[in-house]
Amino acid sequence: MSCNEKAMVTTPRNTVPVAFVPAASRESAWQYRPDVDIWERSDSYLIEMDVPGATPDRIDLTVAEHVLTVRADVPPRFEQGFSPVRVEYGVGDYFRQFELPRTADMAGIHATCSEGVLRITLPKVEAAKPRVIPISGE
Amino acid sequence: MILRHLTLNPVSPVGPVMASMDRLFDTLTNAGTCAANGHVAPFVPAMNIWQSDTSYIVEAELPGFKMNEIEVSLLQNRLTISGRHAEQTESNEQGECIRRERRVGEFSRTITVPSQIDSERIEAHLDHGVLRVTLPKAQAAQPRRIEVRPSAS
């Protein structure tokens, strides 16, 4: 297990910023690592990612060299005339990367987003899908 | 203006972003992260609260919950937000778990709002997994200006 993995396990929620992005061009100063569930099916992988506050048009999904990158821009949410009484979580952009297995079919990746949950389906390449091998008799 | 307050173990912000590379397929290194124990148990959602002269806004991030799965109620000045999924998705249907970080159980949280609330005008909206409840303050709880007059001597 690499130290990267360890950092992941101890990260409890997306309330923990993973990087400070000082660039003035960004709307949000903090970047958050969204929580994921990952499932493996016989013919595909499914990544479910919590991205509350992100609208589908501001989620950016890219694949390059077997690395899947998810970015989402989340603008700050506070209103004119309101002052904070209690702040228990931060609001900012989401960023997370995954190294994909060779069995994932890069061209077939598709994603949907509803209720603040991004669902990314990664089909497996044909060779990686389970198949029944017929046994020939005499 | 930065409106952020960190309450949970902060990871060093200087850690390189590339440190977040995950392996999807290495089930040996991921074996420990699938225990569902902490996830099916009820959880307490974090809340952000703002106020103006005339109202409060209570906000919670509840990704994955639909409108009909969330209940918002006010009893005197105690606001309760609770939720539970209408149908539990079976992991069989989703496949074999490789990693599990998201909180998917039911939740309930009650907070006490310091002022009287006009309960007729409460509004709740769920937008891309973010619940926002607007609680207008009762007329009596709103600040009012008291005019200072010279004494009539």
Rounded to 5 degrees, what angle do the CA atoms A8, A12, A16 make? 85
In this predicted complex, what is the ipTM?
Answer: 0.74
Q: Which residues of B touch A51 (CB under 8 A)?
A: 63, 129
Residue A51: pLDDT over 70: yes
**Range from A68-77, A85-94, B28-37, B141-150 carrying the lowest mean pLDDT:** B28-37
Alpha-carbon separation of residue B30 from A46, A66, A117, B20 (angstroms): 15, 19, 22, 14
Q: Which A residues, 83 through 102, put their C-beta within 8 Å of a C-beta on chain B?
A: 83-92, 95-101
Any CB–CB contact under 8 A between B97 and chain A?
Answer: yes
Instruction: Pick B102's closest partner by Cβ from A9, A35, A54.
Output: A35
For residue B70, pLDDT beyond 80: yes
Cα distance between residue A46 and residue B108, in whole Å? 28
CA dist B88 to A94, B33, B34, B44, B149, Å? 27, 20, 17, 19, 65
Gyration radius from chain A CA atoms? 19
d(Cα B122, Cα B38) in Å, to the nearest integer?
33
A50: contact with B, CB 8 A cutoff = yes
Nearest to B129 by CA among B68, B69, B62: B62
Query: pLDDT band at residue B107, thresholds of 50, 70 and 90?
Result: very high
Note the pLDDT of residue B51. Answer: 93
Residue A62: in which H helix or E strand, if any? strand A59-64
Flag whether the pTM goes above 0.80. Answer: no
Residue B133 exposed, middle or buried by CB count within 10 Å (0-12, 13-18, 19+): buried
pLDDT digit string, tens, across residues B26-69: 443 454 466 554 456 678 999 999 999 999 999 999 999 999 99
Would an 8 Å CB–CB cutoff place B99 in contact with chain A?
yes
A96·B22 Cβ contact <8 A: yes
Instruction: List, in sequence order, every residue forming a beta bridge with B83; answer none if it has no partner.
Output: B70, B107
Q: Which residues of B touch A67 (CB under 8 A)?
A: 21
Q: Do B65 and A115 touch (CB under 8 A)?
A: yes
